[in-house]
Amino acid sequence: MRLSTRTLEGLYALFLLLPFLFTLGVFFLYAFLRAFYFGFTDYNLFAPPKWIGLSNYLRLFQDPLFLTALKHTLIYSVIVTALQTFFALLLAVALNRPLRGVTFFRTLYYLPSVVSTAAASLLLLWLFQRTGLVNQNLTLFLAHLPHLLAFALLFLGLQTLQVAWKRRQRRAGFWDPALAILSALGAFFGTYALALFGFLKPLGLRVEIPWLPTRATFLGLPYPLWAIILMNTYTTIPTFMVLFLAGLKGIPRTLYEAAALDGASPWVMFTRITVPLLRPVLFLVITLGLIGTLQLFDQVLFVGGSGGAPLESTITLAFYVYNNAFPSGAQPRVGLASAAALFLAGLTLFIVLLQRRFGVSERGWS
């Protein structure tokens, strides 16, 4: 029997899709169905599963550790998604200008995103040690705070005097670059002279904040989780910056030229042209950010293991699943871990749909 051309093309397409379909069926669909079944059972990997109905889901909300993980996950997701979206957009707008050497800076700013999670986590551990670079810089900043305040006051005073003098002859703005350079030089030498004659002395302060092995909180989140927030925001901004750059390249320059001819300010052009035309990219960035942050796991594993951070300070929903499926020195609770995994999947879907309905959608603001 001779097959038609359309049938042959369909068979070729199916043949090319077979590796993907096999991976999707075994590692996603089959795994999801097994997890769905285990979520209603008491299973420890060694004995046959025992059907217990909704008991695992009820136990989740009776477990203080799960509630802590849920709180950490939601707050972390909101903060990181907002920060990485905001700064990625600003960075993309800054690098979209026709400046000399802009390709070099695009490459430079993209480098943090190619660093592996393991390497970034080790770098975080080194930076946030009790005697790490973060505490050393805080010590240096606070010790020389009198010098910085003196420099700021001298700069403001010199700048005010210069602007007042220039305005007698012509109109001059307070932040005129030429005047600001002179004021900065004068403030620098003035601060140096005050320190040289003993009027300014460094403060005897030493900062040794235990960023990682602590349960102390700031704005409701433990210090170790704030360290992870800073690291993840820094390493994910470049990826989203590239997406925003691609979106900015699709905006016709004629729109900005027409707005400039009508007297529109840069802020008006940004809010009335750039942001509205970037709504599809914003939807993609926010959606990817939410999905990625809700599944935070590997940094928690590194910081909690190598960094010695308490479990209650860093635990997220994804790590809660892992910690129940592969506990240290205890029997696995696969049923509870499966229930938590399904709850995380449902929560992710719900938040993404909520964002699409009440936040930024691919067609604009909802």
Q: What is the pLDDT of residue 352?
A: 83
Q: What is the pLDDT of residue 5?
A: 77
pLDDT in tens, 91-114: 888 888 776 767 777 777 777 777
What is the rounded CA–CA span in Å between residue 104 and residue 243? 18
Name the burial class of residue 211, with classes exposed (0-12), middle (13-18) and buried (19+) by CB atoms within 10 angstroms of its CB: buried
- Residue 42's H or E segment, with its range, is strand 41-42
pLDDT in tens, 6-50: 777 778 888 888 888 888 888 888 888 888 888 888 878 787 888
| Cα angle, residue 24 at apex, residues 317 and 334 outer, rounded to 5° | 35
What is the rounded CA–CA span in Å between residue 243 and residue 108? 16
pLDDT in tens, 148-182: 898 999 889 888 888 777 766 666 666 677 778 88
